[in-house]
C-alpha cells in the first residue's frame, strides 16, 4: 500500500497540473493530501512535515538563490534600456546582404542577449516586435522567420548567465549530495553554478552555430524565401554602429560572466554587478526613470515570488514522496531498466521532453530533479553532464507545442498576417537541431565537462 501511494503521487500531481491549478499550491496540496491519507492508514510519520521549516529556512538563506532576483532585475532592466533594439538594427544591417542574413543576425543577437540578460521572454518579445515585421517586409518566409526568432530567444536557457542553470545548479547539487550519501560517500565533491556556467558555454555555442548553419543553407536552397537585403550604410558608418551597439552587452558579459568564471566573484556578487550595470546602461540611454524602476522591481518581485513558491511546494511534495519510500522505488526502477545507466538517462530525457510540452522549465526542474536525481547519482552519473543534458532538453520546452512559451511570446506581438500554425511549422527544424545537440552531448560528455576542468 505504501508503494502504491508513492507511485500514485506522480499521476495525481500531473493530472491536477493539467487541470490548470497553480503549480506551487498543487505541489504542496498533493504532498499534504497523500501524507494525511498515508498517516490515516498508519504508513506515514507526520514528523516528516516538521522538516519543511528547515527546508524553507535553508532556501531563504541560500546564497546562490539570492542571485535569482538580481539576474531577473538585470534582464528586465536591459529590456527597457532598448539594448535589443539597437543590436537588432545594427546586426541586421551588417548581415542583410547575405542570403538568410537577417535570420543569422537574429541568432547572433539572441546569443549576445542570452549572455547579458538570461531572460527568454524579453528577448523573444523584443525580436518579434522589431525583426519579424522587417523580415516579412523583405519577403522572408514567415515560418522560417518565426522559427528563427523563437529559437534565438531560447538561447537564454543554455548560454550563461541563465536562470535555468542557476536553479538547476541548486537542485542538482542537493540531489547529488543526497545520492552520494545514500551510496556511502559522506563527502561528495560539490556541484557549483560556476561549473554549470562553464559547462554550458560550449554546448550553447554549438547550438547557436548549428542554427546559423541551417539558416545559411536555407538561404542558399530557397533564396526567394530568405533574400539578400542591400547594405544601406557606408563601411565606416556601419563599423561605428557595430562598436556602439556591441560595447554595452560585451561590457556586461565580461563584468558578469567573466567575473564568475575567473573566480573573482560569486554568482550573487556578479549578479549584483550586472543589476547595477543594467541600470547604468538604462541611464546612459536616458530611459532610467522612476516609472521604469518601479515596473522593473514589480516584475522582479512577481517572478521571484513564483519561483520561490514553487520551490517550497516542491520541497513539501518531495518530503512526502521520500517518506513513502518513493526514492527507493525510483532507484530500483532505474537500476532495472534495460541498458543500465544509459537506458535510465534515455528514459529520463524522454520524460523531460514530453513534460516540456505541458509544463514550464521551472516546474520540471523542481518536480523531476528531486525525484530522479538522488537514485540516478547513486549510479555514479556525472552530475555536471546530466545537468547540461537537462538544460538543453528544457530549452526545447519553450518551442514544443501546445504550451511552448516562446511560441506564445511571439504570437502576442506578431503582425496580423502571422498565425499560430506558421509559428509551429517554423520551430520544427530548430527543435530537431536542439535534439541533435542533445544527442551530441550525450555521445560526447567532454563537450560539457572539459571547460570546467580546464579552468578549475
Higher pLDDT, 118 or 241: 241
Residues 315-345: pLDDT tens digits? 888 888 878 887 777 777 777 777 778 888 9
- Which range of 100-114, 139-153, 280-294 scores highest in mean pLDDT? It is 139-153
State the average pLDDT over residues 97-106.
88
Look at the block and give the residue holding cell 532507484. 331
CA 329 to chain CA centroid, nearest Å: 29
In angstroms, the CA 210 to CA 436 distance is 10
Instruction: Return the C-alpha torsion angle 92, 93, 99, 102, nearest 10.
Output: 10
Instruction: Return the C-alpha torsion angle 352, 354, 356, 359, nearest 10.
Output: -100
Which among 384, 381, 395 has a CA at the least distance from the CA of 347?
381
Please report the beta strands in 156-312, taking only residues with DSSP state E, as ranges in sequence order.
Answer: none
Cα separation values, 360 from 232, 272, 294, 318, Å: 42, 26, 26, 18
State the average pLDDT over residues 374-383.
87
The SS3 of residue 196 is helix
Apex 319 CA angle, 322 and 189, nearest 5: 80
Instruction: Give the up-direction half-sphere exposure of residue 443: CA atoms within 13 A in the CB hemisphere.
Output: 6
In angstroms, the CA 263 to CA 257 distance is 10
CB atoms within 10 A of CB 197: 24
State the average pLDDT over residues 64-72.
83
User: Which pTM was predicted?
Assistant: 0.83
Peptide bond into 402 cis (omega under 30): yes
Cβ burial of 356 (10 Å; 0-12, 13-18, 19+) is: buried
| pLDDT higher than 80, residue 18 | no
Look at the block and give the residue holding cell 541568432. 107
Least confident of 39-48, 133-142, 288-297: 39-48
Instruction: Give the up-direction half-sphere exposure of residue 425: CA atoms within 13 A in the CB hemisphere.
Output: 10
Residues 246-300: pLDDT tens digits? 888 788 888 888 888 888 888 888 889 888 988 888 888 778 888 889 988 998 8
Amino acid at each position: 500500500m505504501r508503494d502504491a501511494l508513492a507511485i500514485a503521487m506522480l499521476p495525481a500531481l500531473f493530472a491536477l497540473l493539467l487541470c490548470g491549478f497553480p503549480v506551487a499550491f498543487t505541489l504542496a496540496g498533493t504532498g499534504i493530501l497523500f501524507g494525511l491519507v498515508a498517516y490515516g492508514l498508519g504508513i506515514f510519520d507526520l514528523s516528516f512535515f516538521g522538516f519543511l521549516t528547515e527546508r524553507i529556512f535553508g532556501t531563504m538563506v541560500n546564497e546562490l538563490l539570492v542571485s535569482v532576483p538580481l539576474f531577473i532585475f538585470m534582464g528586465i532592466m536591459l529590456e527597457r534600456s532598448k539594448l535589443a533594439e539597437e543590436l537588432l538594427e545594427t546586426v541586421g544591417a551588417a548581415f542583410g546582404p547575405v542570403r538568410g542574413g537577417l535570420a543569422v543576425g537574429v541568432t547572433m543577437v539572441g546569443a549576445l542577449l542570452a549572455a547579458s540578460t538570461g531572460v527568454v521572454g524579453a528577448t523573444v518579445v523584443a525580436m518579434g516586435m522589431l525583426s519579424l515585421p522587417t523580415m516579412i517586409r523583405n519577403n522572408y518566409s514567415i515560418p522560417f522567420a518565426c522559427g528563427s526568432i523563437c529559437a534565438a530567444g531560447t538561447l537564454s536557457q543554455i548560454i550563461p548567465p541563465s536562470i535555468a542553470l542557476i536553479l538547476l545548479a541548486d537542485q542538482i547539487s542537493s540531489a547529488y549530495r543526497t545520492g552520494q550519501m545514500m551510496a556511502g560517500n559522506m563527502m561528495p565533491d560539490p556541484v557549483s553554478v560556476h561549473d554549470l556556467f562553464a559547462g554550458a558555454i560550449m554546448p550553447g555555442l554549438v547550438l547557436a552555430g548549428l542554427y546559423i548553419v541551417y539558416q545559411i543553407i536555407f538561404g542558399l536552397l530557397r533564396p526567394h524565401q530568405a533574400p539578400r537585403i542591400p547594405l544601406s550604410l557606408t563601411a565606416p558608418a556601419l563599423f561605428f554602429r557595430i562598436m556602439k551597439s556591441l560595447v554595452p552587452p560585451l561590457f556586461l558579459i565580461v563584468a558578469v560572466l567573466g567575473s564568475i568564471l575567473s573566480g573573482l566573484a560569486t554568482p550573487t556578487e556578479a549578479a549584483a554587478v550586472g543589476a547595477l550595470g543594467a541600470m547604468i546602461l538604462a541611464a546612459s540611454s536616458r530611459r532610467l526613470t522612476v516609472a521604469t524602476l518601479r515596473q522593473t522591481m514589480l516584475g522582479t518581485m512577481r517572478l521571484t515570488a513564483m519561483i520561490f513558491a514553487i520551490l517550497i511546494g516542491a520541497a513539501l511534495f518531495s518530503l512526502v514522496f521520500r517518506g513513502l519510500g518513493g526514492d527507493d522505488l525510483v532507484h530500483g526502477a532505474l537500476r532495472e531498466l534495460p541498458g543500465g545507466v544509459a537506458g535510465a538517462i534515455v528514459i529520463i530525457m524522454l520524460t523531460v521532453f514530453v513534460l516540456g510540452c505541458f509544463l514550464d522549465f521551472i516546474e520540471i526542474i523542481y518536480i523531476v530533479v528531486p525525484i530522479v536525481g538522488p537514485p540516478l547519482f547513486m549510479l555514479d552519473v556525472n552530475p555536471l553532464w546530466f545537468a547540461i543534458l537537462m538544460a538543453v532538453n528544457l530549452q526545447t520546452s519553450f518551442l514544443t507545442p501546445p504550451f511552448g512559451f516562446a511560441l506564445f511570446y511571439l504570437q502576442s506581438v506578431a503582425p496580423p498576417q502571422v498565425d499560430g500554425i506558421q509559428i509551429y511549422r517554423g520551430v520544427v527544424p530548430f527543435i530537431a537541431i536542439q535534439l541533435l545537440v542533445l544527442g551530441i552531448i550525450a555521445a560526447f560528455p567532454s563537450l560539457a565537462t572539459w571547460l570546467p576542468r580546464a579552468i578549475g
